[in-house]
Amino acid sequence: MFRTALRNVSAHKARLLMTVLAVMLGVAFVSGTLVFTNTISDAYQKSSAKGFDQVDVAVRPEYQDSRGDRVGRTPELTRALLDRAAAAPGAASATGVVTGFTAIAGKDGKLLGDGWQSAGGNYWGTEDARYPLVAGHAPSGRGEVLIDARTAERAGYQVGDTVRLSVDGPVLTPRISGVFRTDDGNVAAGGSLALFDTPTAQALFGKKGTYDEIDVKATAGTSQRALKTALDEALPAQLVETTTGKRLADDQAEMISTSMSGLKRSLLVFAGIALFVGTFIIANTFTMLVAQRTRELALLRAVGASRRQVTRSVLIEALVVGTVAGVTGLAAGVGIGAGLRSLLGAFGASVPDGPLVVTPGTVLTALAVGIVITVLAAWLPGRRAAKIPPVAAMSSVHAKATTKSLVLRNTLGALFSAAGVAVVLAATTMDTDSAQGPMGVGAVLLVIGVFILTPLLSRPLIAAAAPVLRVFGVAGRLARQNSVRNPRRTAATASALMIGLTLITGMTVMAGSLQTSIDRMASSAIRADYVVSMANRGPLSPDVARRLAGVDGVTASSPLRNGASRIGGETEYLTGVDGSAIGRLTDLKVDDGSFTVGGSRIVVDKDRAREHGWRVGSRITAHFEDGAARGLTVAGIYEGNDMFNGIMLDNEVLTPHLADPADMRVMVRTRGGASDGAKDRLEKALGSNPAILVQDKKDISHDIARMFTLMLNMVYGLLGMAVIVAVLGVINTLAMSVFERSQEIGMLRAIGLDRRSVKRMVRLESLVISLFGGVLGIGLGVFFGWAAGELLGTKMPTYELVLPWGRMALFLLLAGVVGVLAALWPARRAARLNMLAAIKAE
């Protein structure tokens, strides 16, 4: 039997090719993901381990949330602590580490990088072992800075150049005193690092006289563990915690692999979708192969093969196909992994170098996935093959497609679909957090239901296309009839396409709706003409708000200042605003009371008010960072959103209690509204700071749109794989259907259907099947998009379903293109058919 199975594989090479390709793509996706994530996390781990070379024990402040009613403040690592650490037995030296945000401008004055990875730090003393200098000398004072070699090279800076920097507001223009090398992961991943001398760094980052961390180096012969013990004794335990360098490296490695596994999981989900779609194709192919070989299989039975042997021969075939697909898929996957890495590099997010990691696990997974999926998908067709009676060997005609009633199937499908719709609808009425599970279950049920129902749906939906097809005359009519001839096969083919399009459409609907609503929220709640923020959304120096308030033409401005407090024993974050201006800068819906902020009068959002049981007039006591308490009165309750929420109070009340005031944003209103001139004046007032963004509403919308576009494009790319697999399925089905109908096609040619019409007939059939899948997918996608939106809508008052008609039309068009492309080869084959051979009775 094994030999028969092998012969069959080689006899049907062409027909199995699509199956192999379909499985291969899925396997390649899986193994590519594994190779890529393993390689990246390996490289990061190696590079981060190097980063801890200089650290034997790290001393960090003991973080405390709160003590009593006072908001917790982190203990300070002072010079005195550092000296005590350095004097501990076994300690060779101690380095104080200061870190912060530092934006570097390129020669064109624009920010280097995207702002998220622009870091700053301190250079310890005159020779810092952490940062070996390539050129120049250690920085000294505000007038000098070191920058990392990668950034210097990228921006074309040299020692002696003047560079524009910004930490939290004012622009600095120090001279580059030197360039250093670093294995810092942030820099390796495309970020920048600027170093000042320690006092300057402390001043700039708002940490006068203190450090973020003290790194202690052990003397030769002292173990990290011994040093840690010594430090624990030497330093006050309630203020600091100590960690060995090895532990830090391990933690970092762990963190990297955790974050990688998130990426891995989401990539594998998409790979799973592609594989799932692939199973349809495998099942379809084997069903058709078995149907075509009815006589052959019956003959085997007639000469004494048992049912089990027949099934096994089909499964062995599947095994061979699966193995080939697994091996080629693995090879392709290694290629994909390498490709992805260099692709990341091309996007500027350079990844630390390292060898390509192909673990035995990856190899095993790839092979197992390929083989298991193929054999499982071929299981049912194999069982069906065993049911062929030996007498079928004697009958002359092709096995007819099973005309088994669809009643059971339709009933089952209807039940699944109804249950799915019901669960999804029920989920939309639940609250957002608990509804996610039911929503997912409902979605899966509905997809399965629709999949089971596709044979039933195919008739009316394809009949609806009849008027269009009529234009194409006989070819159109035959195409329509052919496409509903084997509803199961059409269904399986269309479903493969449906799945991809459902996800794509659902994502598009959701993203579009979200984008619109966020956009609307931003524009409806903001009355300010400009919103000023840090490029990394980090804190702004209060200096920025002061400067902006003084710009000519500014009629109102207010910072949104951060402040923590304890209210009723719980930590509450406060937003400090300019009480006299905030009403003219925001347009928030007030549910109760009035939007008045000033003195002890505050406003709170609806959710917080409900949480605490506050009403207009409620009196509350807030304990600030410095321990002082203050009585406040709720003047109004407003509807919050992502940008504005929480407790707003006047800065005149808040600021005196803050040791280090910092603003998240500054809102500005100018005379005559937003204009290029106004924007220019604002930017100039800030010294054309590369780190500070001055955005009008349009810029904000643009930012939001860009974020969504980026996300959607990524999703499209990943789901594109599922669509490609579906295309293979359409090709496969058409090729089979042409093969099965060769006699008919021969007859049609004989009685006068020309080659062009034959081609057109096949193409139209393909088009009909693809569009059918497309319509189903887009329909389901819109439903899911709507349902998900209903959920989100409860959290976002401005949410409204936006149907991307243009995109949807594009997807339908895409389905059509898929159909036409998939038909190219089968249509050619049909047109080239040998008429005489085809007409012959058998």
List residues binding other proteins (CB under 8 A).
473-474, 477-478, 481-482, 485, 743-744, 746-755, 757, 835-836, 839-842
Beta-sheet pairing, 213-218 with 619-624: unpaired
Nearest alpha carbon to residue 174 among 148, 151, 147? 147
* Min separation Cβ 747 and other proteins, Å: 4
Beta-sheet pairing, 118-123 with 647-650: unpaired
Nearer to other proteins, 821 or 835 (CB): 835
* Min separation Cβ 768 and other proteins, Å: 13
* Min separation Cβ 403 and other proteins, Å: 9
Report yes or no: 164 and 107 within 8 Å, Cβ to Cβ. Answer: no
Nearer to other proteins, 154 or 477 (CB): 477
Nearer to other proteins, 79 or 470 (CB): 470
d(CA 778, CA 807): 10
d(CA 670, CA 529): 6
What is the gyration radius of the CA atoms in the chain, in angstroms?
34
Report yes or no: 113 and 173 within 8 Å, Cβ to Cβ. Answer: no
Nearer to other proteins, 503 or 758 (CB): 758
d(CA 571, CA 224): 37
Nearer to other proteins, 3 or 400 (CB): 400
* Min separation Cβ 384 and other proteins, Å: 21
Angle CA 255–719–444, to nearest 5:
90
* Min separation Cβ 401 and other proteins, Å: 10
* Min separation Cβ 746 and other proteins, Å: 8
What DSSP designation does 240 have? E
Nearer to other proteins, 53 or 754 (CB): 754
* Min separation Cβ 722 and other proteins, Å: 31
d(CA 783, CA 777): 10
Nearer to other proteins, 126 or 403 (CB): 403
Nearer to other proteins, 344 or 401 (CB): 401
| Residue 812, token pair as written in the block | 């339908």
Beta-sheet pairing, 91-97 with 213-218: antiparallel
* Min separation Cβ 398 and other proteins, Å: 11
Nearest alpha carbon to residue 104 among 152, 56, 62? 152
Report yes or no: 176 and 145 within 8 Å, Cβ to Cβ. Answer: yes
Backbone angles phi, psi at 483, to 5 degrees: -70, -20
Nearer to other proteins, 557 or 733 (CB): 733
* Min separation Cβ 779 and other proteins, Å: 27
Q: Which helix (H) or strand (E) holds 90?
A: none
| Close Cβ partners of 108 (under 8 Å, ≥ 6 residues apart) | none
Report yes or no: 681 and 552 within 8 Å, Cβ to Cβ. Answer: yes
In DSSP notation, 588-609 reads: PPEEEE----BTTEEEEEHHHH
| Residue 727, token pair as written in the block | 């295309």
Report yes or no: 82 and 267 within 8 Å, Cβ to Cβ. Answer: no
d(CA 412, CA 660): 65
For residue 252, list its beta bridge partners: none
Nearer to other proteins, 3 or 840 (CB): 840
Angle CA 31–37–42, to nearest 5:
125
Nearer to other proteins, 659 or 841 (CB): 841
Nearer to other proteins, 401 or 821 (CB): 401
* Min separation Cβ 394 and other proteins, Å: 15
Nearer to other proteins, 792 or 835 (CB): 835
Nearest alpha carbon to residue 801 among 783, 818, 813? 783
* Min separation Cβ 10 and other proteins, Å: 26
Nearer to other proteins, 401 or 412 (CB): 401
Nearest alpha carbon to residue 498 among 470, 461, 466, 469? 461
* Min separation Cβ 473 and other proteins, Å: 6
Report yes or no: 165 and 145 within 8 Å, Cβ to Cβ. Answer: yes
d(CA 517, CA 176): 46
Beta-sheet pairing, 570-577 with 647-650: parallel
* Min separation Cβ 459 and other proteins, Å: 12
* Min separation Cβ 836 and other proteins, Å: 6
d(CA 771, CA 466): 13
Helix (H, G, I), strand (E, B) or coil at 573: strand
* Min separation Cβ 749 and other proteins, Å: 7
Nearer to other proteins, 327 or 839 (CB): 839
* Min separation Cβ 838 and other proteins, Å: 10
Nearer to other proteins, 244 or 757 (CB): 757
Helix (H, G, I), strand (E, B) or coil at 162: strand
Nearest alpha carbon to residue 317 among 565, 36, 15, 538? 15
d(CA 288, CA 282): 10
d(CA 90, CA 396): 93
